[in-house]
A and B are shown apart, each in its own frame.
Chain A
Amino acid sequence: MKLSDSGKKLLHTPEGLRDIYGEELKIKGNVTGKIRREMHLYGYEDIQTPTFEFFDVFSKEIGTTPSRELYKFFDKDGSTLALRPDFTPSCARCAAKYYMDEKEPIRFCYEGNAYTNTSSLQGKQRESTQMGVELIGDDSAFADAETIALLINSLQSTGLSDFRISVGNAGYFRGICENAGIDEETEFSLREFISGKNFFAAEKLLEESGAGMEVSRNLLGITELIGSQDALERAEEYADNEMSMAAVKRLRDVYEVLGQYGLEKFVSFDLSMLSKYNYYTGIIFKGFTYGVGDVIATGGRYDDLIGRFGKNSPAVGFMIPVDALLEAMRRQKIKVELPEKATVIKYNEEDYKKKLKKAQELRSEGKSVRMMPE
Chain B
Amino acid sequence: MEKKYLTVALTKGRLADKTLDLFEKIGITVDEMKDKGTRKLIFTNEETGLRFFLAKGPDVPTYVEYGAADIGVVGSDIIMEEKRRVYEVLDLGFGKCRMCVCGPDKAGELLKHHEMIRVASKYPNIARDYFYNIKQQTVDIIKLNGSVELGPIVGLSDVIVDIVETGSTLKENGLKVLEEVCPLSARMIVNQVSMQMDTERISKLIFDIKEQLGK
Q: Closest Cβ of chain B: how far from A118's Cβ, in Å?
A: 11
- Asked if A293 and B66 make an inter-chain contact with CB atoms under 8 angstroms apart, the answer reads yes
Which A residues lie within 8 Å of B88 (CB)?
196-198, 201
- Asked if A166 and B91 make an inter-chain contact with CB atoms under 8 angstroms apart, the answer reads no
Q: State the main secondary structure of chain B at its contact with A.
A: mixed
A100 to B142, CA, bound (A): 55
With known contacts A293-B66, A293-B192, A295-B192, A200–B197 Cβ distance under 8 A: no
Q: State the main secondary structure of chain A at its contact with B.
A: mixed
- CB within 8 Å of B: which A271-306 residues: 286, 288-295
- B contact residues, range: 20 to 34
A268 to B90, CA, bound (A): 23
The one of B4, B65, B90, B91 in contact with A293, judged by C-beta atoms closer than 8 angstroms, is B65
With known contacts A226-B199, A227-B199, A268-B199, A290–B193 Cβ distance under 8 A: yes
- Asked if B87 and A198 make an inter-chain contact with CB atoms under 8 angstroms apart, the answer reads yes
CB of B191 within 8 Å of the partner chain: yes
Which A residues lie within 8 Å of B4 (CB)?
290
Which A residues lie within 8 Å of B90 (CB)?
199-200
Which A residues lie within 8 Å of B199 (CB)?
226-227, 268
- Asked if B67 and A288 make an inter-chain contact with CB atoms under 8 angstroms apart, the answer reads no
Which A residues lie within 8 Å of B191 (CB)?
293
A224 to B210, CA, bound (A): 13
The one of A197, A201, A294 in contact with B195, judged by C-beta atoms closer than 8 angstroms, is A197
- Asked if A197 and B190 make an inter-chain contact with CB atoms under 8 angstroms apart, the answer reads yes
- Asked if B66 and A123 make an inter-chain contact with CB atoms under 8 angstroms apart, the answer reads yes
The one of B66, B87, B193, B195 in contact with A289, judged by C-beta atoms closer than 8 angstroms, is B193
In the complex, residue of chain A having the shortest beta-carbon distance to the beta carbon of B89: A197
Which B residues lie within 8 Å of A226 (CB)?
195-196, 199, 203
In the complex, residue of chain A having the shortest beta-carbon distance to the beta carbon of B86: A196
Which B residues lie within 8 Å of A72 (CB)?
none
The one of B87, B91, B200 in contact with A196, judged by C-beta atoms closer than 8 angstroms, is B87
A199 to B196, CA, bound (A): 17
Q: Which 7 A-B pairs have the closest CB atoms?
A: A293-B67, A197-B87, A293-B66, A288-B196, A198-B88, A200-B91, A288-B193
Contacts A288-B196, A291-B67, A293-B193 known; list 14 others, CB within 8 Å.
A164-B197, A197-B195, A198-B87, A199-B90, A200-B91, A201-B88, A224-B203, A226-B196, A268-B196, A270-B196, A286-B196, A288-B192, A289-B197, A293-B66
24 A-B contacts (beta carbon < 8 Å): A123-B66, A164-B196, A164-B197, A196-B86, A197-B89, A197-B195, A198-B88, A198-B89, A199-B90, A200-B90, A226-B199, A226-B203, A227-B199, A268-B199, A288-B193, A288-B197, A289-B193, A290-B4, A290-B197, A293-B65, A293-B66, A293-B191, A293-B192, A293-B193
